[in-house]
Amino acid sequence: MNNFGKELILDLHNCDVSKFNRKDIKKYLIELCDMIDMIREDLHWWDYYGIPKEDQPFEEHLRGTSAIQFIRTSNITIHTLDLTGKVYINIFSCKDFNEVKAGAFTKKWFRGKIVNFKILKRI
């Protein structure tokens, strides 16, 4: 059976919500990719930046910033929840990377507590 990489799934709670903005998340993605030796490609955002509050359909507790950082070997996704101080991150790559190092870096960056750390092998 072929190996098509792995996916690191991280759930962090009690994070520093001051890091939940486009500027800090972009810096996190740049430094993370450099650290785990991934080549960054397009970066796409989804949040409510510039959308009037009355046009925002989600409940307040779901408000946050989402991004997908494409990398040459797949992608990194991030979803923040501003009111609860939670961040959800998936790092998926066909190229191997050090998941322990990536998890420790993420925990330190967002100053949170890792409550889920799972590795999925893609076959």
- pLDDT exceeds cutoff 70 at 1: no
Q: Rounded distance, CA 44 to CA 18, Å?
A: 20
Domains of the chain: 10-76+97-121 (3.60.90.10)
Residue 61 pLDDT more than 80? no
Shortest CA distance to 106 belongs to which of 41, 27, 37? Answer: 27
With cut-offs at 50, 70 and 90, classify the pLDDT of residue 59: confident
- Residue 36 scores a pLDDT above 60: yes
Tokens standing for residue 30 = 């740049």
